[in-house]
Structure 1
Amino acid sequence: MTYTFGDNYKSQFSAEVTKLIEKNNAGGFADRVDKMVEVQRLTDAYIDQTGETPEASELERLTDAILSEELKSMYRAKASATEYPFLSERQMMTRISGEASFKLAEETGTDGRSYAPPKRRERSPYENRYVDIHAKIRNIERKRKYRIDTAPGPVETYKRSPEEVSAYLEETYGYRRI
């Protein structure tokens, strides 16, 4: 089939792409190679006649038409059964949602132990009340004990005569009162 493009070549190319997709959906191509040959003829004719490359959106439509069998396939294990699988957007999202994060692999050692930085859990309101009540009780006990330990002792006074004081000083320090 030969293709000719006039003044309005972009809309004509889009119409040809739509025809090719309809032919593909109707089963007009024997296999993927036939589709690829027809797409190659269409794009080559467009480039030769206009000197421009087709728009990316139209090329994507052609690519989807070539890979329509793979994109429509609902075979669950096609990603593992084929060497280079083509996944539809839904299949790709399903695959991504089932994958584990690399963060988990970074934080888990070969021994199976988690080496992630520890995270402190928050206490519940009940636990906070419990801790506050018991902390107040301990604070009252500590305060009482501290007052006892730091309170001044009783003052003891001794009444001695000056002679007794002189004798004590002389005996202890060798001091003699004149």
Structure 2
Amino acid sequence: MRTAKDVIDENLDDVKARMDAVEAFYVAARLERRKVSSADIDALNSYVLRDDLRWSHPDKMTLIDYPFESDTQRKRRDNKKAPYTVDVLEIGADGRSHRLPTRKRRSAYENWYVNHHAKARNKERRRRYNAFIKTQPVVSYSLKTGE
């Protein structure tokens, strides 16, 4: 019963030979009804792609049709990218700002102004409401029928 480590330790140079060895390992594991762990699958995939993952040419992504990156290569590439600034992300193609709206904080004068006018409006509303709910005179009607 071979393990994934045994396959990797063969250290084959040819990609085709590595692929055949990994495929034979999978077939043997399937015939033995043995489950292959995800860590072993990841290690075997990295073993097959060893040449592509180790090649660290700066223009690797533009030179190869279907390039593979190792984690370190991906991190290095991400660090070289220009960071997106807030303006780039929030200004649309139409030139308008699509930021989440934020509420402006009022100054002390603006708060005083709003409160002063609100109190004046409230005074007028209160006067009209009190006039409306004040006791109204009772008007009685007498309806005579038959005349």
* TM-score when normalising by structure 2: 0.56
Query: CA 1:103 to 1:35, structure 2 compared with 1: closer, same or farther past 3 Å?
Result: farther
Rounded to whole Å, the distance in 1 between the matches of 2:38 and 2:28 is 16
1:23 to 10, 15, 29: 10
Query: 1:83: how far off?
Result: 1.8
Match for 1:47: what amino acid?
R
SS state at 2:72 partner: helix
Q: CA deviation at 1:80?
A: 1.6
Structure 1 stretch 38-47 or stretch 93-102: which is displaced more?
Answer: 93-102
Kindly report which structure 2 residues correspond to 1:50-69, keeping only aligned pairs within 5 A, or say none. Answer: 51-69=33-51
Larger radius of gyration: 1
Identity over the aligned pairs, expressed in percent? Answer: 19
RMSD: 3.3
1:35 aligns with 2:35: no
Whose helix fraction is larger, Structure 1's or Structure 2's?
1
For 1:22 and 1:90, the matched residues in 2 are separated by 23
Distance 1:103-1:83 versus aligned 2 partners, 3 A rule: farther
Q: 2:73, 2:87 → 1: CA distance?
A: 23
Cα displacement string for residues 45-74 of structure 1 (whole angstroms, at most 9, x for unaligned residues) = 11101x133111111111111011111111
Out of 17, 39, 47, the position equivalent to 2:30 is: 47
**One-letter identity of the residue aligned with 2:65:** E
Q: Any conservation in 2 of the 1:35–1:66 contact (CA below 8 Å)? A: yes
Pair 1:62–1:96, CA change in 2 (3 A): same
Match of 1:108 in 2: 91
What stretches of structure 1 of length at least 5 have no aligned partner? Answer: 6-11, 120-178
Aligned ranges 1:1-178 → 2 under 5 Å: 5=1, 12-13=2-3, 17-24=4-11, 28-30=12-14, 32-49=15-32, 51-99=33-81, 100-101=83-84, 105-110=88-93, 115=97, 117=99
Instruction: State TM-score, norm by structure 1.
Output: 0.47
Counterparts of 2:6 and 2:92 in 1: how far apart (Å)?
Answer: 56
2:96, 2:80 → 1: CA distance?
Answer: 21
Between the aligned partners of 1:41 and 1:102, the Cα distance in structure 2 is 50
Say which is worse superposed, 53-62 or 96-105, in terms of deviation: 96-105
Count how many residue pairs are aligned between Structure 1 and Structure 2: 105
